[in-house]
Amino acid sequence: MLEKLPHWLGAALRPLRAGHEGLTICKVEHDGAGLLTLSSPAFAPGGRLPPRFTADGEGLSPPLFWSGVPEGADSLVLVVEDADAPAPRPLVHALVVGIDASATSLAEGAIVADGKGAEGRNVGRNSYLAEGWLPPDPPTGHGAHDYVFQLFAIAPAGDAAIDEAKPGRGDVRDLLAGRILASGLLIGTYSRGEEAPVEGGSGMAAPAPTS
C-alpha cells in the first residue's frame, strides 16, 4: 500500500516517525531479565533486509535463530515492529505467541495465518488486522526504517489470558506483564528511493531496554 505514495510525499513525511520508545520491548517491565541472542542468516544486525522478505519481493518472513532461553521458561513470544512508521506508534509486522521454549528457530516463511494456532504456537494480528507477516512496505523517499524483531522468554502463565484466535499487540503486552525471564532484539532495515547496501551475516545480543 505505502509503495504507491509518490516520492515527494514520502520525503515530506520523513520527519514523522513513531519512535523506538514506542516499541513493545520498551513498554513492558523486565528488570533483572536475562539476554537472548537473536540472529538471522538472511541479514546482519542493523543490515538491510533482502527484498525477498518485503513487499517488493515474495513477502516471506525471514528465518530467525536464537539462544539463551533460561531454564523455567514456559514459552517464547516474538514481536516485530516498524519503529519508523509515519504513525503515532510503531507498526506491528508480526506477533507470534506460544513458541515452544525448547525451540531455537523459526524457518523462513513460518509466520503465516494459522487460525487458532498450529503446533502449539499462535500467530496474531498485525497492524492491518490480519494474521501473519506484514511485509515491510515503507514509503518511497521516507528514508530507512528499522524493523525491530523482539523475542521474549516468559514464565508460566498463571491466570493470563489472551484472544486465542487472533491475539493483538494489547493481548501480547498483557501476556508479557510480570513474566519476562529474558529478552533480545535484532534490527533489520529497509528503504525505498535511495541507495542502501545489502548485507549478510549472523546475529547479535542486545541489552533489553527498561520501561
Does residue 203 carry a pLDDT above 50?
no
Q: Which DSSP symbol is given to 125?
A: B
Q: Are residues 134 and 177 in contact, defined by beta-carbon separation less than 8 angstroms?
A: no
Confidence of residue 32 (pLDDT cuts 50, 70, 90): confident
Interval 62-73 mean pLDDT: 97
Tell me what pLDDT residue 118 has: 72
The whole-angstrom separation of Cα 53 and Cα 50 is 6
Confidence of residue 162 (pLDDT cuts 50, 70, 90): low
**174: helix, strand or coil:** helix
**82: helix, strand or coil:** strand
Does residue 158 carry a pLDDT above 80?
no
CATH number of 2-205: 3.90.280.10
The whole-angstrom separation of Cα 98 and Cα 95 is 10
User: Phi and psi dihedrals of 195, rounded to 5?
Assistant: -70, 140
Tell me what pLDDT residue 27 has: 92
Does residue 173 carry a pLDDT above 50?
yes
Tell me what pLDDT residue 199 has: 46
**103: helix, strand or coil:** coil
Report DSSP letters for 51-68, one per residue.
GGGSTTTT-PPPPEEEE-
CA 43 to each of CA 49, 190, 200, 202: distance values in angstroms, whole numbers, following the listed order: 6, 11, 4, 7
Q: What is the mean pLDDT of the chain?
A: 84
147 forms beta bridges with 82, 188
User: Whole-model pTM?
Assistant: 0.85
Q: Which residue in 148, 160, 125, 166 sits closest to 25, CA to CA?
A: 148
Residue extents of the structural domains in the chain: 2-205
Q: Which residue in 22, 158, 41 sits closest to 105, CA to CA?
A: 41
Strand order in the sheet with 180-190: 34-35, 180-190, 145-154, 75-82, 91-100, 122-123
pLDDT in tens, 134-154: 999 999 888 899 999 999 999
CA 46 to each of CA 35, 146, 191, 200: distance values in angstroms, whole numbers, following the listed order: 18, 8, 13, 10
